[in-house]
Amino acid sequence: MMLPVNDARTFKSSIPLELDCGKNIPRFKLSYETFGELDAEASNAILIFHALSGNSHVTRKSQNIDAGRGEAGWWEFMVGPGRPIDTGQYFIICANVLGSCYGSTGPSSLNPRTGKRYCLDFPIITIHDMVRCQARLLDSLDIDTPLAVIGGSMGGMQAIDWALSYPWRTRGIIPISTTPQSSPQSIAFNEVGRRAILADPRWRNGHYYDDGAPPDDGLAIARMIGHITYLSDQSMRQKFGRRVQNGNSLFQHLCSEFEVESYLSYKGSSFTKRFDANSYLYLTKAIDYFDVNSDSRYWNKTKMRQTFLERMKALVISFTSDWLFPSYQSKQLVHVFKNLHVPVSYCEIESSYGHDAFLLETEHQGQLLNDFLRNLKDDH
């Protein structure tokens, strides 16, 4: 169930990690990749955070692109030589988050205290716990202050947490398609997905790793629900309409007659080949817990914090058809930054792609990021 990505390196920390839940883990590892070259002042680093089902493979290694080698990354069009986040200018770091299953420590890892896999003994984690680990990774790379932290969706929550927890540790923040606070509707969708996993008899209280029969039915259903929330009513009408699979006639089966049904079914089942059900439980909980307003860490108004917050720059981006983390939530995030006196720009981009737009909309989004990063760099 551990799926380290090719070319990824592993950062290992053996200092115990204290977590928001009050528990700790004695050590952890993060799988990560870097792209481009760090300059002599370590001033051109950009930390990119991935979303729920992502990993460290944000793009291909630059040297392989022309040769077509290596699997495309999850933000391939955005990160690379000459692309909006230009690996010719910046040193990009992307790490698989704590709790995930792409080479970082999570519920499928061995618990050093027992010699067995954690399964549900893995402690509950938060977005801030993920970010704590990445701060240690940057320490190990001798990078005090990245030029910017960037992320979409759950990655955007990490970017927010990084900037508000360690305001001296970034000069720019770009949260995209995200929210300062998970809404009850998004919690509800995550909860139904978790219920589907727990109801799968093969889940067996999280102990399924060593018998070769993971709770694929439950995880597939969870992913199907998630996938609907990543698209939009409009994009589904454009993409599928009411077309019937293979031109068959209707009124034949209780399942999968329409193309949209078989598409979702395919997305659900292919997800089970690349993701761990327990990781899905832990990461969706971390998303649900995220609430900028209720976390006193963010609102601690020391003079030093305030100085750094006022020096920071934020660019908030949302997409018109995103109904999972709708634009009104990005506007709430803008207000959070304003209350903290962080200079902030906001752009709502017209798109029919729904929540997935941050992974698909190239032009306008790319231009915004490119301009923002160039200004940050020039200001320095």
| Residue (57 or 194) nearer to a second copy, CB | 194
CB atoms within 10 A of CB 201: 9
Q: Which of 76, 121, 144, 191 binds a second copy (CB under 8 A)?
A: 191
Length of the chain equals 380
Annotated active-site residue 355? The verdict is yes
State the nearest-atom distance from the C-beta of 146 to a second copy, in Å: 28
| Residue (170 or 186) nearer to a second copy, CB | 186
Q: Is 211 helix (H, G, I), strand (E, B) or coil?
A: helix
Annotated active-site residue 62? The verdict is no
Q: Is 47 helix (H, G, I), strand (E, B) or coil?
A: strand
Residues 6+ apart with CB under 8 A from 125: 19, 20, 21, 98, 99, 282, 285, 286
State the nearest-atom distance from the C-beta of 9 to a second copy, in Å: 31
Whole-number Å distance between alpha carbons of 375 and 355: 27
| Residue (294 or 362) nearer to a second copy, CB | 294
Active-site annotation holder among 50, 57, 128, 355: 355
* 189 contributes a contact to a second copy by CB under 8 A: yes
* 194 contributes a contact to a second copy by CB under 8 A: yes
Alpha carbon dihedral 94, 95, 96, 99, in 10-degree steps, equals -140
State the nearest-atom distance from the C-beta of 57 to a second copy, in Å: 27
State the nearest-atom distance from the C-beta of 43 to a second copy, in Å: 36
Annotated active-site residue 288? The verdict is no
Piece of the chain touching a second copy by CB under 8 A; list 10-18, 80-88, 96-104, 239-247: 239-247
Amino acid letter at 355? Answer: H
* Site for a second copy, residues 241 to 300, rule: CB under 8 A: 241-242, 250-256, 258, 260-261, 264-265, 268, 281-282, 285, 288-289, 291, 294
Enumerate the H helices of the chain as residue ranges: 62-65, 127-140, 154-165, 184-199, 216-230, 233-239, 259-272, 277-289, 303-311, 327-339, 357-360, 363-379
State the nearest-atom distance from the C-beta of 123 to a second copy, in Å: 8
Q: What is the 3-state secondary structure (H, E, C) of 55-106?
A: CCCCCCCHHHHCCCCCCCCCCCCCEECCCCEECCCCEEEEECCCCCCCCCCC
* 237 contributes a contact to a second copy by CB under 8 A: yes
State the nearest-atom distance from the C-beta of 290 to a second copy, in Å: 10
State the nearest-atom distance from the C-beta of 186 to a second copy, in Å: 9
* 115 contributes a contact to a second copy by CB under 8 A: no
Piece of the chain touching a second copy by CB under 8 A; list 34-42, 61-69, 222-230, 370-378: 222-230
* Site for a second copy, residues 1 to 20, rule: CB under 8 A: 20
State the nearest-atom distance from the C-beta of 261 to a second copy, in Å: 4
| Residue (289 or 337) nearer to a second copy, CB | 289
* 37 contributes a contact to a second copy by CB under 8 A: no
Q: What's the token pair of residue 189?
A: 């969708």
Active-site annotation holder among 13, 53, 109, 153: 153
Whole-number Å distance between alpha carbons of 140 and 142: 5
| Residue (1 or 124) nearer to a second copy, CB | 124
DSSP assignment, residue 278? Answer: H
Whole-number Å distance between alpha carbons of 307 and 81: 34
Active-site annotation holder among 129, 288, 322, 356: 322
Nearest Cα to Cα of residue 263 among 240, 283, 284? 240
- Over its C-alpha atoms, the chain yields an Rg (Å, rounded) of 21
- Is residue 158 within 8 Å of residue 289, measured between CB atoms? no
First-last CA distance in the chain: 43
- Is residue 80 within 8 Å of residue 60, measured between CB atoms? yes
Residues at the contact surface with a second copy, assessed by CB under 8 A: 20-22, 120, 124, 126, 181-185, 187-189, 191-192, 194-196, 198-201, 217-218, 220-221, 224-225, 228, 231-233, 236-237, 239-242, 250-256, 258, 260-261, 264-265, 268, 281-282, 285, 288-289, 291, 294, 323, 326
Any idea which residues carry the catalytic annotation?
A: 153, 322, 355
